A and B are shown apart, each in its own frame.
Chain A
Amino acid sequence: MAAVAALRAAGQRRPGLGRPGQAFWAAAGTAGKEEKVEADKAVVEKEERSEPSLICSLPRSRSYIPPMDLQSCLESHIREVFGPSLTEDWQQTLLQENRLKHRLLARLAAELGRAVPNSQLHRMRCARDVLGFYRIPMKDETKFDELVATELPPNLKITLWEQ
């Protein structure tokens, strides 16, 4: 019972897998709250400013680079979550139980800043799939923005590309 209650509390605090955007805004909110602690006068103002009050909110940065110690990080998380029921080769650990799978993927999303999208969840059957997924880097620039950012020859002019 206590474990279930703890899990529910954890579920409420932690963002769900399908809503990584909330993690970003939650992080922005907590960052604003940290500033509040320092200055007592502008407490109310800062709280209002730090919350996303824009009509068209800024798109979150989708760029992701796999960290160098990805494999060891993943291994440690798997050992943490699965604990006793672990085979020798940790990469073959099947993510059959949904609860454990959710726990593992939520922890990885929180740590690495990239969540598995809902459409890919059915593909994450064993730890090797998760490893392969997190190895793929993501960049949030379109190919065109990348092109504009590179050094173009002086006789090639690209005008503004309105999305």
Chain B
Amino acid sequence: MTGRGSPSRFLTAVLHNGVGRYVRQLQRLQLLFSPTAADARGARQFVEEAAQDFARQHPDVVLYVSPHSGPGPAPVLRAEYLNGTVREELIASKTSEEIVQLATKMANQSGLDIIRIRKPFHTDNPSIQGQWHPLTNKPSILTVQGPRLQPQ
């Protein structure tokens, strides 16, 4: 689709994150998988090997490991952000390392929508000395009389 057909947004940080302290925008990660399904093998290996290291490296993210017994939905990694966005990523038939990479990627994201960004730059102070307009640097009598009016 064209730019006009699909949604877009401006570049922004959530609440000017990073100007002061950096606050990680990922609130919690939920790992939903089955303890017996074949495609959840990577997820199980992740829980056994890499989950503790990930939790220690990201102490501000809570990691919930929720196995559901029986034939259930596909294994999924659900990320919830501070602005309320919930993103689910399928981890079926992924290896433990791939899941670690995916979890790290989601931990570094903010919860803003992943759509086209109109401009790769944004500033709150576009002009320091004032935006130029045609009456800048002209004698100030023009603002009183106008350009062609004769003095009465």
CB neighbors of B among A149-163 (8 A): 152-159, 161-163
B56 in the interface, Cβ–Cβ < 8 Å?
Answer: yes
Q: Is the CB of A156 within 8 A of B63?
A: yes
B56 / chain A contacts, CB cutoff of 8 Å = 153
Contact between B59 and A153 (Cβ–Cβ < 8 Å)?
Answer: yes
B54 nearest in chain A by CB position: A156
B35 touches A144 (CB 8 A): yes
Q: Among residues 30 to 59 in chain B, which have CB atoms less than 8 Å away from a CB atom of chain A?
A: 35, 47-48, 51-52, 55-56, 58-59
Structural contact, B55 and A156, CB atoms closer than 8 A? yes
List of A residues within 8 angstroms of B55 by Cβ: 152-153, 155-156
**Residue on B with the closest CB to A152?**
B52
Chain B residues in 8 Å Cβ range of A152: 52, 55
A153 to B52, CA, bound (A): 7
B35 touches A161 (CB 8 A): yes
Is residue A143 contacting chain B, with contact meaning CB distance below 8 A? yes
Secondary structure at the B interface, as helix, strand, loop or mixed, is mixed
Q: How far is the CB of A126 from chain B (nearest CB, A)?
A: 36
What residues make up the interface of B, taking CB atoms closer than 8 Å to A?
35, 47-48, 51-52, 55-56, 58-67, 69
Contacts of B58 in A (CB 8 A): 155
Residues of chain B within 8 A (CB-CB) of A156 are 51-52, 55, 62-63, 65
* The one of A155, A159, A163 that contacts B66, using a Cβ cutoff of 8 Å: A159
Q: Tell me the smallest distance from the CB of B44 to a CB of chain A, in Å.
A: 8
A121: CB under 8 A from chain B?
Answer: no
A149 to chain B, nearest CB (A): 13
Q: Which residue of the partner chain, among A143, A153, A155, A163, contacts B48 with CB atoms under 8 Å?
A: A143
In the complex, chain A residues 119-163 whose Cβ is within 8 Å of any chain B Cβ: 143-144, 147, 152-159, 161-163
A147, A153, A159: the one contacting B64 at CB < 8 Å is A159
